[in-house]
Amino acid sequence: MDDEQIKIAEDDGIVTITLNRPERLNAFVGHMRRDLAEALEEAGSDPHVRVVIVTGEGRAFCAGGDVQFMCELVEREDTEEFARILGAARRVVLAIRQMTKPVIASIEGPASGAGFNLALACDLRIASSTATFSQSFVKLGFHPDWGGPYFLPRMVPSNIACELFFLGDTIDAQDALRLGLVNRVVAPEQLEAETRKLAERLRAGPAVSIAAAKHAVYAGEHDTLEKMLQYESEAQLRCFQSEDGREGVRAFTEKRPPRFTGR
């Protein structure tokens, strides 16, 4: 793991993964995509991890792919290397969506191109009022990647998705909130604390129930109603049989806060 460009910190079941190229607005270069994928896969497979936060160092979340790096690939026609970094990006998106733990994007400043779509891949998004969002691929003559063509049209009407993809214009945090692209917007000085507060609420919740709900949300994007109803029954039985399920019912009847353990 490249500790210079991807930082990982764990604190009592909450893992924070930080993109760490602040001098380049955390734009992806070299093996950053691969290292981010590995960090997410490790967090996803660690039974002690309950919540994952993805954020950026400094004044940006992520400016997307490093354009100078892309220019070098184009100049030498390095299709093989370009295909490799596309594969690493796919690993990142799948690691987020396939892990059972909730993933929060904590967004300060620009989230452009791949950075925008990395945020969309996460389960929850909390943005500073300074955050901006842009599907900037069109300005380079490139196609949106990192799952953007899948995520964005499922979050906003098709005409809005087309406008963002076709024009590459930048929208601010309040516009993103109005469109439903972020869950909440907070003052810059409150972003870290509010992200932590949200992560702690998730950590305190019943892990089996949250994992099942996460699967249901994304399965519902392509499964039929019949399949979803079958899945709901199976997932509800798992929750019913879990320790947290039993604790939740007992706490409710005893009129006390539940003490969930994640089992």
C-alpha separations of 58 from 24, 84, 107, 172, 247 in Å: 10, 28, 11, 18, 41
Sheet holding 170-172, edge to edge: 110-112, 132-134, 170-172
- How do residues 227-236 score in pLDDT, each as one tens digit? 766 776 777 6
Confidence of residue 73 (pLDDT cuts 50, 70, 90): confident
In the three-class reduction of DSSP (H, G, I as helix; E, B as strand; rest coil), residue 231 is classed as: helix
pLDDT, position 106: 98
Residue 59 vs residue 219, higher pLDDT: 59
| pTM of the predicted protein model | 0.89
Confidence of residue 1 (pLDDT cuts 50, 70, 90): very low
- How do residues 141-185 score in pLDDT, each as one tens digit? 888 889 999 899 999 999 999 999 999 999 999 999 999 999 999
Confidence of residue 26 (pLDDT cuts 50, 70, 90): very high
Question: What's the CA gap between 63 and 22, in Å, rounded?
Answer: 10
Average pLDDT, the chain: 91
